[in-house]
Chain A
Amino acid sequence: MKFESTSALVLDETGTLSFAQLVEQSGLSETDLQVLVECGALMPRDTHASHWTFSSRCVVTARTARRLRDDFALDDVHAVAVVLRFHERVAALEQELRRLRAML
């Protein structure tokens, strides 16, 4: 059995990655990612830049989009963007609920 040790990277607003890296890490196609950007589901750091870069938090969003697409066999990326928006709202509310429960 292998035994390995390595450092974990926090996927938050501090890290930056390129469009190609986001394609690789999310498992989505370039076209799908472009549609998600056009829908506003993913925000490049500078939408006017010739080469988009993203915060590493976008990896979480893009991977969630891919998982939702695959899990529910969704064909339309626009539908994925809508589901993603609701999913993120639910996740944020659940986290707020956990925080408030912890204060009781």
Chain B
Amino acid sequence: MKYKDYYATLGVERTATPDDIKASYRKLARKYHPDVSKEKDAEEKFKEVGEAYETLKDPEKRAAYDQLGRHSPGDDFRPPPDWQQSFGDTQFSFDDIDLADLFANIAGHSRGGPRAANAPRSGQDFEAGVRLTFEQAFAGTEIEFDMTVAEPDANGMLRRTPRKVKVRIPKGVTDGQKLRVPGKGAKGSNGGRDGDLYLDIRVDAHPLYRAEGLDLYMELPLAPWEAVLGADIELPTPAGRIALKVPAGTHAGQKLRLAGRGLSRPDGTSGHLYAVAHIVVPTVVDERQRALYGQLKDGSTFNPRAHMD
């Protein structure tokens, strides 16, 4: 087992009071928390600081840690012979265990008073980020990923266990949504409930569609004559190409609603697809086309800036 100097990690003396330890942890949490820190390797440092605080904030765990003796960080060591009798609830080997896992096996009593060694212990929840393509989010999908959870082995000792999980993502999920997969965190022990798996969904941007809730928006480029005269066009939608009748006199920014063609949920609710008209003009015109535009100009009384007069 490799030694870690939790006191050095928190920057406090071994004689530090609980208030000193908390104050130092708070300072370091503000410095390295991934939500607020711009420091390089902030997440890794925050994990190290959190692991140290998790042990030193708890009087029982801190006493157990102190009894391990002083070693240099990274050194291989074994706890003193009577250590396990004093602090360990279960029989286990120290050879293939991380210091954090060792202390996870000590029930501790930092909250809610002391707890019995055989008290029900809920399994740890697990959180993971999931990146989906737009198409996967639209149609629903099944994803697989590997994770490592701390759960009790045959001797009741918490160990990091590799787990491959397959999850069905329902159709209609959107960027930023959170999903819960019941019972797929770490196993509980002594009758405690299994933990849950929480998924943080990110949906890649699509070149044509963007989602707002269940509604989808897309640009509908129209030639000037299509906007003025109307047109029958073929439009790509996430569920396939459809025929769309563009009404005569469609103006830029006008939204054409395609009911029920947005994202849909398994419960049957669905959003709409809005095609937003954009008038696109040709950048290159030949002599004949220029003459036709000239005739249009001469023959029209339309003034798009009449409201400015």
Task: Report A's interface with B, CB cutoff 8 A.
Answer: 1-12, 14, 24-25, 27, 56, 59-60, 63, 71-73, 87, 91, 95, 98-99, 101-103
Contacts and interface: CB of A to CB of B under 8 A. Distances in A.
Given A1-B162, A95-B176, 19 more contacts: A2-B163, A3-B166, A6-B167, A8-B170, A8-B180, A11-B177, A11-B178, A11-B180, A12-B177, A14-B269, A25-B196, A56-B180, A71-B50, A72-B30, A72-B33, A73-B26, A87-B35, A102-B210, A103-B210
A102 B134 CA distance: 12
A14 B170 CA distance: 14
Contacts of B57: 73
Contacts of B164: 1-4
B205 A9 contact: no
Interface of B: 22, 25-26, 29-30, 33, 35, 46, 50, 53, 57, 125, 142, 162-170, 172-173, 175-184, 193, 196, 198-199, 205, 210, 212, 265, 267, 269
A59 B178 CA distance: 9
B33 A9 contact: no
A5 B166 contact: yes
A4 B166 contact: yes
Contacts of B53: 73
A72 to B, nearest CB: 5
Nearest to B50: A71
Nearest to A25: B196
Of all A-B residue pairs in the complex, the 3 with the closest CB atoms, nearest first, are: A102-B205, A5-B166, A8-B179
B210 A6 contact: no
Nearest to A72: B29
* Dominant secondary structure at the A interface: mixed
Contacts of B196: 25
A6 B163 contact: no
Given A71-B29, A71-B50, A103-B210, A6 B176 contact: no
B304 to A, nearest CB: 25
5 contacts: A1-B164, A5-B168, A9-B182, A59-B180, A73-B57
Among the interface residues A8, A11, A12, which one has the most CB atoms of the partner chain B within 10 A? A8
B166 A11 contact: no
A11 B179 contact: yes
B145 to A, nearest CB: 12
A67 to B, nearest CB: 9
A72 B29 CA distance: 6
A4 B210 contact: no
Contact of A8 (B163, B168, B267): B168
Nearest to A14: B267
A71 B33 CA distance: 8
B170 A95 contact: no
A87 B176 CA distance: 14
Contacts of A102: 205, 210
A82 B267 CA distance: 35
Contacts of B173: 10
A25 B29 contact: no
Contacts of B181: 6-9
Contacts of A71: 29, 33, 46, 50
Contacts of A99: 175, 210, 212
Contacts of B199: 8
A25 B125 CA distance: 9
A9 B26 contact: no
Nearest to B21: A73
A72 B24 CA distance: 11
Contacts of A6: 165-168, 181-184
B143 to A, nearest CB: 9
Contacts of A98: 175
